[in-house]
Structure 1
Amino acid sequence: MKKVQLGAVFASFLFVATACGGGNANEPAETDSAEGNNTEENEASGSILVSGSSAMEPLIAAASEEFMNENIDASISVQAGGSGQGLSSVASGQVQIGNSDVFAEEKEDIPAEELVDHRIAVVGMGPATHPEVGVEDISTEDLIAVFTGEVTNWSELGGADQEIVIVNRPDSSGTRDTFVKYGLEDNEPVPGDITEDSSNAVMKIISETPGAIGYLAFSYYDEQGTVLPLSVDGVEQTDENVISGEYPIWAYMHSYTKGEPEGLTAQFIEYLQGDFVQGTLIPEMGYIPEADMQVERDAEGNDTPK
């Protein structure tokens, strides 16, 4: 009987001690009473501006939305405008990140030595036409002839009897630089019939203009066949052909900062190079993780196996 009484007293003592004590290791961490979130969450805060490559804009815009959903005190404004504008804006301090699909060293009047390169992805680019031109594959020789004005009707290439309408990007465009260097072998295109500042506008014009041809990043192609990507020398515009090095018209997606990034800028670049963007967002949106590439390219355009 005495043993039963002692056991009851001991159990009561444990109950009181637990109730009055500070808890134990299995209890949840202290949370913010207003939101119910761990106080360590949402550490990223402030605001930054990002501008530049229109080929990169869809990816960076989508990534910034995801980042801001996870960090409610952070504000990231993303604009296009072309690689040249991105590089000059970050160099002058107007924006915190300048996106470019060319190396800073390739653009004149850009102090490349002051900028830090953060590679985000790889993107393929190529000639895109109105779906009814009647041509699906083009040789590099004929592609040059089209963009330099030597060939002016699709019938000369076995296609429809339709005048060729060239849709260009301005000189500040990194997509233009990449296409001219690796698609046209450095032959400058004629001024063309139309020049547009953004890839979105180029895609729309090509899709609505009979006989039109321009150039776009793979990320702008859609399953509806809004525009027709031409094979070049029999090689299709696919991620697999870019990765292997068989298809030559591609570029790195660079996010440049002036000096080493700090604060929100550093946090966002780390996010861009992290698992979610690299493993999920990049392939879903038509880009290629740099880690997948089997070739490497330098600022002079030399490719070497990895």
Structure 2
Amino acid sequence: MDILRWDVFLTVLGVVVPILAALYEFVFVGRKRLGYRVQMDTIASDEVHSAYAGALQRLERDGGTPLLDPSFVLLRFENNGATHIDESDYAVLDDDRVGIRVVFPDRRVAGLVVTELSHPYLRPSFEGDSGLHVRNGVIQLPRVPMNRGTHYKVLAALEREPGATRAAGAEFAPPKVIGGIKGGVGSGDIPETRSRTGTSVPAISLVCFLMVIIVTQSLLSLRDENAPLDCASGELALTGSTAFAPVLEEAATAYEDTCPGSRITVTADGSANGLNALESAGREHERGEPSMLAFSDGPKGDGHPRLLPRPVALSLFTLVINEEAGVLDLTPEQVRAIFEGRLTNWGELGGEDVPIRLVGRDDKSGTRRVLQQRVLDGFREPGSTSDNCRDRDPGARDRLTRCERDATPEVLDTVAETPGALGYAELGAAQERENLPRVRLSGHEASTEAADYGAYPFWETEYAYTYGELPAKSLAASFLRYLTDEVGRDLVRAHGHRPCTELQNPVLCRPVAQG
């Protein structure tokens, strides 16, 4: 196990950094913050000679002298920090009543009013000898106590200094706010608060940082996607059911890709042969722990007392038929009549005048055993009467042409190529053959729903057998957990089987009607 788990480290980093940024912004940097805005700074001259200038043309000093290049400035002072500001927080001498001074380069203040208070408790701060003055053309504002989020506005009428000049249409220099807050932003200055139409650089930096964290975590997750927590190395042999072999082959490849150091081989030669192979391997192993799993269509039956079963999936099987037969639906009774040799031509069942030819599996096949138990009501298929599945052997007493094939793909190929042929296979393999019709049983297609209601009989539980109890950290145990985990369930489902964990009773792993 790695001392440093990168996924955990990145997760912690992605949580801690925003918290620290928030603490820095609102607790340290923004703990005390007094700012100002210039909401208006405009010249009151009649640039277009408006006929409606009215009183604006008569802006005068107290003595009646017109103002030189008059202008208006509206300032807003606001506590936009995280805590309140007291009188003692202003960076001035204790006996100085003035907390903020506003200077207007090349202009002097001709008139001043406080136009807006965000809360009535601010009013006494501007009354009497509060420190609100205009001296030498400079606005002096008192040390106003302000709770978080409060503000006040100051409207000033100004004129150009007599010695200063201004070109036509030019603007005056912006005002300068002089003052400071103890423990405030940066050096404690009172900064101008500007309206932002875009995202701030720190915010963009934080978002980019979090995106890097997310992308990195995603890449790490993709590298370890679907990886079991108990990857094991070594070699493992899978044997038994040919019907379940496609699932095992794909799962083995996926496990090897996920868990380097593992090597899994699949040898499918029938359920009975697989159980025998596992029994032999277990007896020969010095500790009785062979690295082998045997898969069987249905329970092992009598014998093999050391083999322990584990239900893996509910497997559905289906009858497949050659297109020339002209039949797509049979009852279980008709199927038994065919296999018992009482029906020999499809014309007897309303189909084409074509001889019935049966393509089956050898007596070691689990699929054959399922057919005999679930559909044929215990009837055992007779032996083969033909090698090519078209012509009966000379001297054969059986009325039907019967042949046997070693594996499911061979059965499907033979049925597709042989006129009037009827065979059987697991559903997933049969579904891949678009030109090979699947026979309904009493009108019902092979489906878990039909099996649940007892309407479809051709099913069986797929078991994984082990020789005794598996060591918890063995490759065989790890692969079994993988097969029944999320990835394995997807593979099982993709091949037409139903994972036991998705059934109403996973332990029994059988349709509801059979529970």
Residue pair 1:149, 1:190 contacting (<8 A) in 2 also: no
1:294 touches 1:305 (CA, 8 Å); kept in 2?
no
Asked if residue 266 in structure 1 is aligned to residue 477 in structure 2, the reply is yes
In the alignment, what sits opposite 2:492?
Answer: 282
Output the CA distance in 2 between the equivalents of 1:224 and 1:203: 8
Q: What is residue 16 of structure 1 aligned with on the other side?
A: none
CA contact (8 A) 2:484 2:499 kept: no
Deviations 1:31-54 (A, max 9, x none): xxxxx99xx989421001111000
Is the 2:346–2:355 contact (alpha carbons within 8 Å) kept by the matching residues of 1? Answer: yes
- Structure 1 pair 81/204, CA: closer, same or farther in 2 (3 Å)? same
Displacement of 1:303:
7.4
- The answer for the alignment partner of 1:254 in structure 2 is 463
Comparing both chains, which one has the higher relative contact order based on Cα–Cα distances under 8 Å and sequence gaps of 6 or more? Answer: 1
Pair 1:99 & 2:295 matched: yes
Cα separation, partners in 2 of 1:223 and 1:88, compared to 1, 3 Å: closer
Please give the alpha-carbon distance, in whole angstroms, between the structure 2 residues aligned to 1:46 and 1:302: 36
Q: 1:194 aligned to 389, 396, 403, which one?
A: 403
Query: Where is the helix percentage greater, Structure 1 or Structure 2?
Result: 1
CA distance in 2, matches of 1:292, 1:284: 14
Aligned to 2:36: none
Structure 2 residue identity aligned to 1:139: T
1:52 match: 240
Closer, same or farther in 2 for the Cα pair 1:264/1:184, shift >3 Å?
Answer: same
TM-score, structure 1 length as denominator? 0.80
Change (3 A) 1:302 1:287: closer
Q: Which amino acid aligns with 1:101?
A: D
Pick the structure with greater CA Rg. Answer: 2
1:226 aligns to what?
Answer: 435
TM-score by length of 2: 0.48
Deviations 1:121-173 (A, max 9, x none): 11111221112311111111110111111111110110011111111111111
Taking only the aligned residue pairs, the percentage that are identical comes to 28
Task: Please state whether the residue corresponding to 1:171 is helix, strand or coil.
Answer: coil
Given residue 293 of structure 2, which amino acid in structure 1 is its aligned partner? I
Where 2:243 maps in the other structure, the secondary structure is coil
- In structure 1, what is the Cα distance between the partners aligned to 2:505 and 2:318? 18
Pairs aligned (count)? 270
| CA distance 1:43–1:127, change in 2 (3 Å) | closer
Q: Does 1:89 align with 2:271?
A: no
Q: Which residue of 1 aligns with 2:421?
A: 212
Distance between the aligned counterparts of 1:188 and 1:220, measured in 2?
A: 24
* 1:36-47 paired onto structure 2 within 5 Å: 43-47=231-235
Tell me, which stretches of 5 or more residues in structure 2 are unaligned? 1-185, 187-212, 218-222, 283-290, 385-401
- Could you tell me which of 163, 171, 189 is aligned with 2:355? 163
- The aligned amino acid for 2:382 is V
Unaligned segments of structure 1, at least 5 residues: 1-6, 8-25, 30-35
**Is the contact made by 1:296 and 1:303 (CA closer than 8 Å) also made in structure 2?**
no
Letter aligned with residue 214 of structure 1: G
Q: 2-side partners of 1:182 and 1:297: how far apart?
A: 20
Distance 1:149 1:298 in 2: 35
Q: Which of 164, 173, 177 is the matching residue for 2:365? A: 173
CA distance in 2, matches of 1:189, 1:305: 25
Give, as a single letter, the amino acid of the residue that structure 1 aligns with 2:497: Y
- The residue that corresponds to 2:311 in the other structure is 119
Cα distance change, pair 288–185 in 1 and its aligned pair in 2 (3 A): same
Counterparts of 1:183 and 1:305, CA distance in 2: 15
**1:284 CA drift (Å):** 1.4
1:140 maps onto 2:351 in alignment: no
8 Å Cα contact 1:52/1:82 also seen in 2: yes
Q: CA deviation at 1:240?
A: 2.4
> 1: CA distance between counterparts of 2:364 and 2:500?
24
CA contact (8 A) 2:278 2:467 kept: yes
Deviation at 1:225, TM superposition (A): 2.3
Cα 1:253–1:90 change in 2 (3 A) is same
Relative to structure 2, which stretch is displaced further, 113-122 or 66-75?
A: 113-122
Partners of 1:80 and 1:254 in 2: how far apart?
A: 14
1:184-226 CA-to-partner distances (Å, cap 9, x unmatched) read 1111223242101111110111111111001111011235523
Q: Look up the equivalent residue of 1:157 and give its one-letter code.
A: L
CA distance, structure 2, for counterparts of residue 226 and residue 255 of structure 1: 32
Q: Is the 8 A contact 1:244 1:295 kept in 2?
A: no
**Are residues 223 and 84 of structure 1, via their aligned partners in 2, closer, same or farther at CA, if it must alter by over 3 Å?**
closer
Counterpart for residue 179 of structure 2? none
